[in-house]
């Protein structure tokens, strides 16, 4: 049965595969970059980032030699910045510990910073033709339906069963194509909710199709909803420059933000909060609207304010930047509305 599944899927893939710049190449570094970018991110979004990244850093050595700020700037807007930091650290590790050669085996690949079991399987199978699975959310969905795995896939023993089932499906011939075919099937046919079974090449071999309940699978662990957090974001201007700082917190580490005061405050109450956060005395506060950004675990409900800083120095860590300097910094998408507001302010300063 695994043989007929792989044959049917590969035949379908040959006719239906998406033409993507990271396909049909034999370059483990490019596979690593593309698979890292594709985590939690849509193919359409990744396309331009991937091309730009490989133009600036065409080899693992070029990436290893780069400054982290350069890597983050290229990643700006793609989100989940720890992926970029890990990719950069991993490239340095490959140069230092593996002589610049990306390893072939999943065991060695898994020793590299940022390469988890999925990425290790993807690199080994796609770039080196090693018959190992690459189990991501799409593959979990397809395999649980195909094999009728009805228990919660968040339970470790069920997850192991699913990984074993996925491994058994991978053919010795064209394992990379097979894994990519599964990914394509999961993202275009065997989609979350109601799959398009009529268009599926595996219909005759699928347990969930036979049982008539594919939309019930997979059984996923219940997600904790993201926590809503309120912030006042303060655009503090002085002599044509705006106040920013580089984050040192784990979340958005290394990215630049405007002052954020926890909670929502009145225009009257805000100066005391700003003083506490930055050491600056502010005046002429104006309401600049609202913004919202949804992360996986948090929702930032932001109220934006524009204000002037009186003379005096901001506390260590804060820095007034010009418009040009601001454009050279990596600013997270969560600050998009605040950045647009700062651009308007500095543009006319």
Judged by the rule CB under 6 A, the positions of this chain that interact with ligand SF4 are 142, 145-146, 189-190, 195, 197, 200, 202-203, 206, 208-209, 214
Q: Closest Cα to residue 64, out of 102, 96, 26?
A: 96
For ligand SF4, which is the closer residue by CB, 192 or 240?
192
Write down the least CB distance from residue 101 to ligand SF4, Å: 37
Choosing from 35, 96, 107, 211, the catalytic residue is 35
Q: Are 76 and 48 in contact (CB under 8 A)?
A: no
Q: Are 139 and 183 in contact (CB under 8 A)?
A: yes
How far apart CA 309 and CA 1 sit, in angstroms, is 71
For ligand SF4, which is the closer residue by CB, 107 or 204?
204
How far apart CA 169 and CA 188 sit, in angstroms, is 20
For ligand SF4, which is the closer residue by CB, 158 or 321?
158
Write down the least CB distance from residue 164 to ligand SF4, Å: 18
| CA count, 13 A, side-chain hemisphere, 263 | 8
How far apart CA 113 and CA 92 sit, in angstroms, is 9
Q: Closest Cα to residue 147, out of 136, 157, 158, 155?
A: 158
Write down the least CB distance from residue 142 to ligand SF4, Å: 5
Write down the least CB distance from residue 130 to ligand SF4, Å: 25
Look up 35 and say whether it is catalytic: yes
For ligand SF4, which is the closer residue by CB, 84 or 142?
142
Q: What is the dihedral of CA 317, 322, 325, 330, to 10 degrees?
A: 60
Active site residues: 35
């Amino acid at each position: 049965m695994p043989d007929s599944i792989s044959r049917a899927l590969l035949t379908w893939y040959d006719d239906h595969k998406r033409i993507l710049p990271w396909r049909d190449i034999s370059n483990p570094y490019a596979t690593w970059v593309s698979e890292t970018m594709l985590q939690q991110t849509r193919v359409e979004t990744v396309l331009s980032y991937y091309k730009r990244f490989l133009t600036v850093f065409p080899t693992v050595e070029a990436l290893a030699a780069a400054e982290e700020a350069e890597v983050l700037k290229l990643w700006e807007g793609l989100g989940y910045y720890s992926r970029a930091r890990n990719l950069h650290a991993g490239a340095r590790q490959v140069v230092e510990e593996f002589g610049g050669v990306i390893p072939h085996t999943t065991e060695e690949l898994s020793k590299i910073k940022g390469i988890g079991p999925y990425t290790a399987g993807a690199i080994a199978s796609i770039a080196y033709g090693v018959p190992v699975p690459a189990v991501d959310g799409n593959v979990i969905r397809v395999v649980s339906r195909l094999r009728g795995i009805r228990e919660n896939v968040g339970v470790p023993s069920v997850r192991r069963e699913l990984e074993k089932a996925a491994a058994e499906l991978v053919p010795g011939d064209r394992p990379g194509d097979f894994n990519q075919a599964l990914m394509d099937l999961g993202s275009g046919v065997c989609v979350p909710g109601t799959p398009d079974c009529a268009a599926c090449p595996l219909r005759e071999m699928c347990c969930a199709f036979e049982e008539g309940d594919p939309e019930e699978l997979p059984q996923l662990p219940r997600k904790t909803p993201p926590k809503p957090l309120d912030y006042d974001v303060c655009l503090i201007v002085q002599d044509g420059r705006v106040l920013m700082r580089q984050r040192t917190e784990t979340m958005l580490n290394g990215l630049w933000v405007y002052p954020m005061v926890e909670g929502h405050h009145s225009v009257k109450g805000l100066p005391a909060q700003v003083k506490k956060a930055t050491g600056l005395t502010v005046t002429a506060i104006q309401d600049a609207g609202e913004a919202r950004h949804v992360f996986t675990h948090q929702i930032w409900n932001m109220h934006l304010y524009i204000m002037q800083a009186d003379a005096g120095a901001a506390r260590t860590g804060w820095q007034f930047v010009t418009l040009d300097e601001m454009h050279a910094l990596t600013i997270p998408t969560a600050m998009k509305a605040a950045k647009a507001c700062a651009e308007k302010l500095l543009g006319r300063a």
